[in-house]
Chains A and B, each alone.
Chain A
Amino acid sequence: MARSHKPVIWGLFAAGGTVAAFLAPVLILISCLAVPLGLLPPEILSYERLLELLQNPISRLVVFAVLVLIIWHAAHRLRITAHDVGMSSDSLVMIACYGTAAAGTLLAMLALFSPV
Protein backbone atom coordinates (compact mmCIF):
# COMPACT_ATOMS: atom_id res chain seq x y z
CA MET A 1 0.00 0.00 0.00
CA ALA A 2 1.17 3.51 -0.63
CA ARG A 3 0.26 6.91 0.70
CA SER A 4 -2.83 8.20 -1.03
CA HIS A 5 -3.24 11.44 -2.98
CA LYS A 6 -6.62 11.94 -1.35
CA PRO A 7 -5.33 14.88 0.76
CA VAL A 8 -5.60 17.12 -2.30
CA ILE A 9 -9.33 16.66 -2.72
CA TRP A 10 -9.93 16.23 0.99
CA GLY A 11 -8.25 19.57 1.70
CA LEU A 12 -10.64 21.21 -0.79
CA PHE A 13 -13.53 19.29 0.74
CA ALA A 14 -12.71 20.42 4.27
CA ALA A 15 -12.16 24.04 3.23
CA GLY A 16 -15.38 24.09 1.22
CA GLY A 17 -17.32 22.46 4.02
CA THR A 18 -16.12 25.05 6.49
CA VAL A 19 -16.97 27.91 4.13
CA ALA A 20 -20.40 26.40 3.49
CA ALA A 21 -21.03 25.89 7.20
CA PHE A 22 -20.33 29.52 8.01
CA LEU A 23 -21.69 31.28 4.94
CA ALA A 24 -24.24 29.16 3.08
CA PRO A 25 -27.25 29.92 5.32
CA VAL A 26 -26.87 33.71 5.15
CA LEU A 27 -26.13 33.51 1.41
CA ILE A 28 -29.31 31.52 0.79
CA LEU A 29 -31.26 33.90 3.00
CA ILE A 30 -30.08 36.98 1.16
CA SER A 31 -30.18 35.58 -2.36
CA CYS A 32 -33.43 33.63 -2.26
CA LEU A 33 -35.56 34.22 0.83
CA ALA A 34 -35.05 37.75 2.19
CA VAL A 35 -36.93 39.50 -0.61
CA PRO A 36 -39.98 37.16 -0.70
CA LEU A 37 -40.10 37.37 3.11
CA GLY A 38 -40.03 41.16 2.94
CA LEU A 39 -36.82 41.41 4.97
CA LEU A 40 -34.95 43.21 2.20
CA PRO A 41 -36.14 45.41 -0.68
CA PRO A 42 -36.11 43.73 -4.12
CA GLU A 43 -33.55 46.30 -5.34
CA ILE A 44 -30.94 44.37 -3.38
CA LEU A 45 -30.84 41.78 -6.17
CA SER A 46 -31.14 44.24 -9.04
CA TYR A 47 -28.70 44.28 -11.92
CA GLU A 48 -27.29 47.63 -10.91
CA ARG A 49 -26.94 46.72 -7.25
CA LEU A 50 -25.09 43.47 -7.99
CA LEU A 51 -22.71 45.16 -10.42
CA GLU A 52 -22.03 47.72 -7.72
CA LEU A 53 -21.29 45.00 -5.14
CA LEU A 54 -19.00 43.16 -7.54
CA GLN A 55 -17.16 46.22 -8.78
CA ASN A 56 -14.23 45.71 -6.47
CA PRO A 57 -11.91 42.95 -7.76
CA ILE A 58 -11.36 41.79 -4.16
CA SER A 59 -15.07 41.16 -3.67
CA ARG A 60 -15.17 39.25 -6.99
CA LEU A 61 -12.25 37.16 -5.78
CA VAL A 62 -13.95 36.45 -2.45
CA VAL A 63 -17.21 35.49 -4.15
CA PHE A 64 -15.28 33.25 -6.55
CA ALA A 65 -13.40 31.55 -3.73
CA VAL A 66 -16.55 30.94 -1.68
CA LEU A 67 -18.56 29.51 -4.57
CA VAL A 68 -15.75 27.36 -5.95
CA LEU A 69 -14.79 25.90 -2.57
CA ILE A 70 -18.40 24.96 -1.81
CA ILE A 71 -18.82 23.37 -5.21
CA TRP A 72 -15.77 21.15 -4.79
CA HIS A 73 -16.92 20.23 -1.28
CA ALA A 74 -20.30 19.19 -2.69
CA ALA A 75 -18.72 17.30 -5.59
CA HIS A 76 -16.51 15.24 -3.29
CA ARG A 77 -19.30 14.48 -0.85
CA LEU A 78 -21.57 13.32 -3.66
CA ARG A 79 -18.79 11.08 -4.97
CA ILE A 80 -18.65 9.47 -1.51
CA THR A 81 -22.44 9.12 -1.44
CA ALA A 82 -22.38 7.36 -4.80
CA HIS A 83 -19.91 4.90 -3.28
CA ASP A 84 -22.10 4.58 -0.19
CA VAL A 85 -25.06 3.37 -2.24
CA GLY A 86 -22.98 0.81 -4.05
CA MET A 87 -21.98 2.51 -7.31
CA SER A 88 -18.93 0.50 -8.20
CA SER A 89 -17.40 2.59 -10.96
CA ASP A 90 -15.54 5.24 -9.00
CA SER A 91 -13.91 6.53 -12.18
CA LEU A 92 -17.26 7.33 -13.82
CA VAL A 93 -18.52 8.92 -10.60
CA MET A 94 -15.36 11.02 -10.36
CA ILE A 95 -15.78 12.27 -13.91
CA ALA A 96 -19.42 13.18 -13.26
CA CYS A 97 -18.82 14.88 -9.91
CA TYR A 98 -15.48 16.60 -10.45
CA GLY A 99 -16.33 17.30 -14.08
CA THR A 100 -19.40 19.23 -12.99
CA ALA A 101 -17.37 21.07 -10.36
CA ALA A 102 -14.73 21.93 -12.95
CA ALA A 103 -17.41 23.20 -15.34
CA GLY A 104 -18.90 25.31 -12.57
CA THR A 105 -15.46 26.66 -11.70
CA LEU A 106 -14.88 27.61 -15.34
CA LEU A 107 -18.27 29.27 -15.60
CA ALA A 108 -17.60 31.21 -12.40
CA MET A 109 -14.29 32.38 -13.84
CA LEU A 110 -16.00 33.54 -17.02
CA ALA A 111 -18.77 35.21 -15.04
CA LEU A 112 -16.54 37.09 -12.65
CA PHE A 113 -13.26 37.71 -14.41
CA SER A 114 -13.89 38.16 -18.10
CA PRO A 115 -13.83 41.79 -19.16
CA VAL A 116 -17.42 43.06 -19.09
Chain B
Amino acid sequence: MSQRCIELEILRYDPEQDDSPHFQVYAVPYHDDWVVLDAINYVKEELDPTVSYRWSCHMAVCGSCGMVVDGEPVLACHKFLRDCSNRIRIEPLQNFPVERDLVVVMDDFMDKLGSVKPYVIPKEEKDIEDGEYLQTPAELSSFKQYTACINCLLCYSACPQYALNSSFVGPAALALAHRYNLDTRDVGRSARADVVASNSGIWECSFVGACSEVCPKAVDPAAAIQQTKIASTVDYFLDFLTPWKRT
Protein backbone atom coordinates (compact mmCIF):
# COMPACT_ATOMS: atom_id res chain seq x y z
CA MET B 1 0.00 0.00 0.00
CA SER B 2 1.51 3.29 -1.04
CA GLN B 3 1.87 6.06 1.49
CA ARG B 4 -0.62 8.87 0.99
CA CYS B 5 1.04 12.24 0.77
CA ILE B 6 -0.34 15.65 1.59
CA GLU B 7 1.19 19.05 0.93
CA LEU B 8 2.10 21.72 3.42
CA GLU B 9 2.28 25.25 2.08
CA ILE B 10 4.38 26.99 4.72
CA LEU B 11 5.02 30.71 4.84
CA ARG B 12 8.76 31.43 4.77
CA TYR B 13 10.40 34.70 5.69
CA ASP B 14 14.12 35.19 6.24
CA PRO B 15 14.72 38.72 7.54
CA GLU B 16 18.33 38.56 6.35
CA GLN B 17 17.43 37.70 2.76
CA ASP B 18 13.78 38.31 1.98
CA ASP B 19 11.94 41.56 1.36
CA SER B 20 8.63 39.87 1.94
CA PRO B 21 7.31 36.41 2.80
CA HIS B 22 6.65 33.67 0.26
CA PHE B 23 5.21 30.17 0.44
CA GLN B 24 7.19 26.95 0.20
CA VAL B 25 5.51 23.62 -0.48
CA TYR B 26 6.55 20.38 1.18
CA ALA B 27 5.22 16.85 0.60
CA VAL B 28 4.53 15.12 3.88
CA PRO B 29 3.31 11.54 4.51
CA TYR B 30 -0.21 11.41 5.84
CA HIS B 31 -0.84 9.68 9.15
CA ASP B 32 -4.33 9.39 10.54
CA ASP B 33 -3.24 10.27 14.06
CA TRP B 34 -0.93 13.14 13.17
CA VAL B 35 -1.58 16.76 13.98
CA VAL B 36 -0.30 19.68 11.91
CA LEU B 37 2.60 20.06 14.35
CA ASP B 38 3.72 16.48 13.61
CA ALA B 39 3.72 17.31 9.91
CA ILE B 40 5.76 20.48 10.46
CA ASN B 41 8.19 18.54 12.66
CA TYR B 42 8.54 16.02 9.84
CA VAL B 43 9.43 18.89 7.47
CA LYS B 44 12.01 20.20 9.92
CA GLU B 45 13.54 16.79 10.63
CA GLU B 46 13.48 15.24 7.19
CA LEU B 47 13.13 17.92 4.53
CA ASP B 48 14.16 21.42 5.58
CA PRO B 49 15.86 22.14 8.89
CA THR B 50 15.66 25.91 8.30
CA VAL B 51 11.92 26.17 8.99
CA SER B 52 11.43 28.13 12.22
CA TYR B 53 8.44 27.79 14.52
CA ARG B 54 7.56 27.65 18.20
CA TRP B 55 6.24 24.56 19.94
CA SER B 56 6.68 22.77 23.22
CA CYS B 57 4.17 20.60 25.02
CA HIS B 58 2.39 19.08 22.01
CA MET B 59 -0.76 18.83 24.14
CA ALA B 60 -2.45 22.23 23.98
CA VAL B 61 -1.40 23.51 27.40
CA CYS B 62 1.67 25.64 26.76
CA GLY B 63 0.25 27.94 24.08
CA SER B 64 3.47 28.02 22.02
CA CYS B 65 2.37 26.61 18.66
CA GLY B 66 -0.32 29.08 17.66
CA MET B 67 -0.49 29.59 13.91
CA VAL B 68 -2.98 30.14 11.11
CA VAL B 69 -3.89 26.87 9.34
CA ASP B 70 -6.07 27.24 6.22
CA GLY B 71 -7.09 30.69 7.38
CA GLU B 72 -8.08 29.70 10.91
CA PRO B 73 -5.99 30.46 14.02
CA VAL B 74 -5.33 27.12 15.75
CA LEU B 75 -2.80 25.39 17.96
CA ALA B 76 -0.77 23.26 15.55
CA CYS B 77 -0.73 20.45 18.11
CA HIS B 78 -4.49 20.56 18.33
CA LYS B 79 -5.40 20.38 14.63
CA PHE B 80 -5.52 16.89 13.15
CA LEU B 81 -4.38 16.29 9.57
CA ARG B 82 -7.53 14.25 9.02
CA ASP B 83 -9.57 17.45 9.57
CA CYS B 84 -7.60 19.34 6.93
CA SER B 85 -7.52 19.34 3.14
CA ASN B 86 -4.80 17.71 1.06
CA ARG B 87 -2.90 20.97 0.70
CA ILE B 88 -2.64 22.79 4.00
CA ARG B 89 -1.66 26.45 4.11
CA ILE B 90 0.29 27.33 7.24
CA GLU B 91 0.97 30.94 8.20
CA PRO B 92 2.12 32.74 11.33
CA LEU B 93 -0.41 34.34 13.65
CA GLN B 94 -2.06 37.39 12.09
CA ASN B 95 -1.73 40.91 13.45
CA PHE B 96 1.76 40.40 14.85
CA PRO B 97 4.99 41.29 13.08
CA VAL B 98 6.63 38.20 11.60
CA GLU B 99 10.09 37.60 13.03
CA ARG B 100 10.95 34.64 10.81
CA ASP B 101 8.84 31.98 9.08
CA LEU B 102 6.10 31.04 11.58
CA VAL B 103 7.58 32.95 14.52
CA VAL B 104 5.88 36.23 15.46
CA VAL B 105 6.97 39.11 17.68
CA MET B 106 4.88 38.90 20.85
CA ASP B 107 6.28 41.94 22.63
CA ASP B 108 3.15 44.05 22.25
CA PHE B 109 1.07 41.42 23.98
CA MET B 110 3.61 41.01 26.78
CA ASP B 111 3.43 44.75 27.45
CA LYS B 112 -0.34 44.68 27.50
CA LEU B 113 -0.45 41.69 29.78
CA GLY B 114 1.68 43.53 32.32
CA SER B 115 -0.37 46.70 32.00
CA VAL B 116 -3.58 45.12 33.35
CA LYS B 117 -1.90 44.21 36.65
CA PRO B 118 -2.52 40.46 36.37
CA TYR B 119 -2.05 39.58 40.03
CA VAL B 120 -4.16 39.61 43.18
CA ILE B 121 -4.23 43.05 44.78
CA PRO B 122 -5.53 42.23 48.27
CA LYS B 123 -7.34 44.63 50.57
CA GLU B 124 -4.68 44.05 53.21
CA GLU B 125 -1.37 42.32 52.75
CA LYS B 126 -1.22 39.34 55.04
CA ASP B 127 1.94 37.88 56.54
CA ILE B 128 2.58 34.20 55.96
CA GLU B 129 1.95 33.58 59.65
CA ASP B 130 -1.59 35.02 59.36
CA GLY B 131 -2.56 32.12 57.10
CA GLU B 132 -4.18 31.82 53.69
CA TYR B 133 -6.71 34.06 51.97
CA LEU B 134 -9.94 32.07 52.23
CA GLN B 135 -12.21 31.43 49.30
CA THR B 136 -15.24 29.18 48.90
CA PRO B 137 -15.64 26.80 45.92
CA ALA B 138 -18.53 28.97 44.69
CA GLU B 139 -16.30 32.05 44.74
CA LEU B 140 -13.63 30.17 42.81
CA SER B 141 -16.07 28.92 40.19
CA SER B 142 -17.18 32.47 39.45
CA PHE B 143 -13.84 33.26 37.79
CA LYS B 144 -12.27 29.87 37.14
CA GLN B 145 -12.87 29.78 33.38
CA TYR B 146 -10.90 33.02 32.98
CA THR B 147 -7.86 31.43 34.63
CA ALA B 148 -7.55 28.93 31.80
CA CYS B 149 -5.79 31.28 29.34
CA ILE B 150 -2.51 29.87 28.01
CA ASN B 151 -1.48 33.07 26.24
CA CYS B 152 -1.50 31.36 22.86
CA LEU B 153 -2.59 34.59 21.09
CA LEU B 154 -5.09 32.88 18.77
CA CYS B 155 -7.63 35.46 19.97
CA TYR B 156 -5.41 38.37 18.92
CA SER B 157 -4.95 36.72 15.54
CA ALA B 158 -8.70 36.45 15.09
CA CYS B 159 -9.61 39.89 16.40
CA PRO B 160 -10.29 42.44 13.64
CA GLN B 161 -10.27 45.32 16.13
CA TYR B 162 -6.71 44.45 17.13
CA ALA B 163 -5.88 44.28 13.44
CA LEU B 164 -7.38 47.70 12.81
CA ASN B 165 -5.88 49.29 15.91
CA SER B 166 -2.84 47.72 17.53
CA SER B 167 -3.19 49.89 20.62
CA PHE B 168 -6.20 47.76 21.59
CA VAL B 169 -5.36 45.96 24.82
CA GLY B 170 -6.93 42.83 23.37
CA PRO B 171 -8.99 39.79 24.38
CA ALA B 172 -6.55 37.73 26.45
CA ALA B 173 -5.26 40.64 28.53
CA LEU B 174 -8.79 41.90 29.20
CA ALA B 175 -10.01 38.41 30.07
CA LEU B 176 -7.18 38.10 32.55
CA ALA B 177 -8.03 41.49 34.07
CA HIS B 178 -11.59 40.22 34.44
CA ARG B 179 -10.26 37.06 36.13
CA TYR B 180 -8.65 39.21 38.81
CA ASN B 181 -11.56 41.63 39.06
CA LEU B 182 -13.86 38.69 39.81
CA ASP B 183 -11.47 37.08 42.29
CA THR B 184 -12.86 37.67 45.78
CA ARG B 185 -9.37 38.04 47.20
CA ASP B 186 -8.78 41.06 44.93
CA VAL B 187 -9.78 44.70 45.27
CA GLY B 188 -7.82 45.96 42.25
CA ARG B 189 -10.66 46.73 39.83
CA SER B 190 -10.19 50.47 40.28
CA ALA B 191 -6.43 50.20 39.84
CA ARG B 192 -6.89 48.26 36.60
CA ALA B 193 -9.58 50.58 35.25
CA ASP B 194 -7.16 53.18 33.92
CA VAL B 195 -6.08 50.64 31.31
CA VAL B 196 -9.09 48.33 31.14
CA ALA B 197 -11.74 51.07 30.95
CA SER B 198 -9.69 53.30 28.66
CA ASN B 199 -10.48 53.92 25.00
CA SER B 200 -7.89 51.29 24.08
CA GLY B 201 -9.29 48.83 26.58
CA ILE B 202 -12.75 47.26 26.58
CA TRP B 203 -14.20 50.16 24.59
CA GLU B 204 -12.27 49.25 21.45
CA CYS B 205 -14.11 45.92 21.39
CA SER B 206 -17.17 45.66 19.15
CA PHE B 207 -18.10 42.12 20.21
CA VAL B 208 -17.18 40.38 16.99
CA GLY B 209 -16.76 37.30 19.16
CA ALA B 210 -14.11 35.65 16.97
CA CYS B 211 -11.75 35.54 19.96
CA SER B 212 -14.03 33.23 21.92
CA GLU B 213 -14.67 31.08 18.87
CA VAL B 214 -10.99 30.33 18.32
CA CYS B 215 -9.96 30.02 21.97
CA PRO B 216 -8.69 26.45 22.57
CA LYS B 217 -9.34 26.66 26.32
CA ALA B 218 -12.93 28.00 26.27
CA VAL B 219 -11.89 31.11 28.20
CA ASP B 220 -14.54 33.15 26.37
CA PRO B 221 -12.72 36.50 26.39
CA ALA B 222 -15.65 38.12 24.55
CA ALA B 223 -17.88 37.38 27.53
CA ALA B 224 -15.24 38.75 29.91
CA ILE B 225 -15.09 42.00 27.96
CA GLN B 226 -18.87 42.43 27.74
CA GLN B 227 -19.22 41.84 31.49
CA THR B 228 -16.49 44.38 32.08
CA LYS B 229 -18.31 46.88 29.84
CA ILE B 230 -21.42 46.57 31.98
CA ALA B 231 -19.45 46.81 35.23
CA SER B 232 -17.51 49.84 33.94
CA THR B 233 -20.69 51.56 32.79
CA VAL B 234 -22.23 51.07 36.23
CA ASP B 235 -19.01 52.37 37.83
CA TYR B 236 -19.03 55.40 35.53
CA PHE B 237 -22.55 56.42 36.44
CA LEU B 238 -21.98 55.67 40.12
CA ASP B 239 -18.90 57.90 40.01
CA PHE B 240 -21.07 60.59 38.46
CA LEU B 241 -23.91 60.26 40.93
CA THR B 242 -21.86 59.63 44.08
CA PRO B 243 -18.43 61.12 43.33
CA TRP B 244 -17.34 60.91 46.93
CA LYS B 245 -17.48 57.13 46.70
CA ARG B 246 -14.93 56.95 43.87
CA THR B 247 -15.04 53.38 42.48
Contact = CB atoms under 8 A, between A and B. Distances in A.
Contact present between A and B (CB < 8 A): yes
Nearest to B167: A1
Which 5 pairs from chain A and chain B are nearest by CB? A1-B198, A7-B236, A7-B233, A6-B203, A4-B199
Interface in B188-204: 193-195, 197-201, 203
B232 interface: yes
A97 B108 CA distance: 33
22 contacts: A1-B194, A1-B195, A1-B198, A1-B199, A1-B200, A1-B201, A2-B194, A3-B194, A3-B232, A3-B236, A4-B197, A4-B198, A4-B203, A6-B199, A7-B232, A8-B236, A10-B203, A10-B229, A10-B233, A14-B233, A84-B160, A84-B164
Among B194, B197, B237, max chain A CB count under 10 A is at: B197
Nearest to A83: B164
A86 B203 contact: no
A5 B198 CA distance: 8
A6 B193 CA distance: 13
Nearest to A81: B206
Interface of B: 160, 164, 193-195, 197-201, 203, 206, 229-230, 232-233, 236-237
A14 B232 CA distance: 13
A112 interface: no
A5 B237 CA distance: 10
A12 to B, nearest CB: 10
Contacts, number: 40
A66 interface: no
Interface string A1-39: 111111110110010000000000000000000000000
A80 interface: yes
Contacts of B199: 1, 4, 6
Contacts of A80: 206
B233 A11 contact: yes
A11 to B, nearest CB: 5
Contacts of B233: 7, 10-11, 14
Given A80-B206, A84-B206, A3 B160 contact: no
A8 B234 CA distance: 10
Contacts of A5: 236
B163 to A, nearest CB: 10
B164 A2 contact: no
Nearest to B239: A3
B168 to A, nearest CB: 11
Given A1-B198, A7-B233, 19 more contacts: A1-B194, A1-B199, A1-B200, A2-B194, A2-B198, A3-B232, A4-B198, A4-B199, A6-B199, A6-B203, A7-B236, A10-B203, A10-B229, A10-B233, A11-B233, A83-B164, A84-B160, A84-B206, A86-B164
B237 A11 contact: yes
B164 A4 contact: no
